[in-house]
Amino acid sequence: MYFSNKDLKLQVIYNISIYLTQLVLKFISFFNQKLKLGVLGRKDAFKILETHISQTDKTFWFHCASLGEYEQGLPVFKELRKTHPSHKIVLTFFSPSGYEIRKNTDIADVVVYLPLDTKANAKRFLDLVHPELTIFVKYDIWPNILIELKKRHLKAILISALFRENQIYFKFYGGFMKKALFAFQHIFTQDESSKDLLKTIDYNHVTVSGDTRFDRVFSQLEQNNHLGFIEQFKGDKLCFVAGSTWPEDEAFLVEYINSLETNTIKFIIAPHNIKATQIKKLKQSINKKTVLFTEKDLSTISSHQVLILDTIGLLTKVYSYANLAYVGGAVGKTGLHNTLEPAVFGIPIIIGENYNKFPEAKFMIKNQGMFTIKNTKELTQTIDNLRNSPKSIKTAGEANLNYIKNNRGAVIQILSFIRTYED
């Protein structure tokens, strides 16, 4: 691939920015606990790899930006773990929100933070890991690492990829970043438009496989989703579950809850931020009888109208008890959280108005299984319309479940390619 002077300048600017980022992160980490976790974790990454990976080990490397991408790649990871038991699997995260929650996963033999993308770190990391196969999930394209992979003729694929026209890969000055994409022997995209965009830069090793999250969430129906305390809390009442909420979501929800004159509906709120100060503030804002998960008493939990999950790891199962769901992130600019998790349980879903970057939300809205709101009045109207019409709940829920069923199969295509690739 030809590189213009602009591309070379971009490469230099990128490398300088990575070094500056390293310095800035170290400074800011003194004041930010989340960033501090990442800085300290990256500092230990090479030492952990040196301890657990030897030069004679056969390895696979899986990389995920954060928790959402991990969940997206999990069905593929599980199958490779099963079919290649003699391989050691290295799992890397960029974000503390992924690493801290899944650092003890049994999918991998070693879980570390991905070192910052300097040329020196790229060489050292690949010297230690020497992967037979590398899988990146969705995005988080780190050019120095990927270009070094290509130099070493190491196999790599990108799965569940989603591209937009305004990304740097498709700009006239994006040659350096384009080169990173060409390190992948194959890219599996979620949609046709992503494939078409890749064609504009002459990348043609593409399969439109869809989103692996459909396979992931559908498998949840085969799991044991029983939670006794939720059954006791819910009783025979209609249950509204609000998942991964932010303060801007909660402002609408709390106003609606406080306005109710009936106790015929139960609310479960699972905030994205479970810091004690945030949870305390949320609880104090609600004028209905409210209990925290960490303070629940099974003998009295049924007498409460609102349950706040000040813990992690339960939301997917909790959705199985919902009659209606709300998914946070689209009221503000933080980004819509996973709407497929509640959809698989055949329930209507409500979200905020900022969903344009999420194709699954667009489809479910068009398919009348999802509803979008921009204020408390619209939230109230939507909830009331649904809870007063069991038929509407059933129809919308079935639309969402059928959407999940009809979009499975990405994992089979990816694994089939990997098997062929290995032959």
Where do we find the tokens 């801290």? Answer: 100
Closest CA to 98 of 56, 149, 63, 143: 63
409's torsion region: left (phi>0), alpha (psi -120 to 50) or beta? left
Q: What is the three-class DSSP state of 285?
A: helix
CA trace torsion 172, 176, 182, 188 (10° rounding)? -70
The DSSP 8-state label assigned to residue 182 in this structure reads T
Tokens, residue 247? 């303060």
User: CB–CB of 329/352 below 8 Å?
Assistant: yes
Tokens, residue 168? 């740097």
Cβ-in-10-Å burial (0-12, 13-18, 19+) of 169 comes to buried
User: CB–CB of 69/93 below 8 Å?
Assistant: no
The one-letter amino acid at 39? V
First and final C-alpha spacing in the chain: 28
Beta carbons within 10 angstroms of residue 233's beta carbon: 26
Cβ-in-10-Å burial (0-12, 13-18, 19+) of 419 comes to exposed
228/55 Cα distance (integer angstroms): 48
User: CB–CB of 58/132 below 8 Å?
Assistant: yes
Q: What is the three-class DSSP state of 371?
A: strand
DSSP 345-364: TT--EEE-S--TT-HHHHHH
Catalytic residue status for 132:
no
From residue 144, give the alpha-carbon distance in Å to each of 25, 52, 269. 19, 24, 42
Q: Which of 50, 69, 231, 261 is catalytic?
A: 69
Task: Please state the separation of Cα 108 from the chain's center in Å.
Answer: 18
Which residues are identified as catalytic? Answer: 69
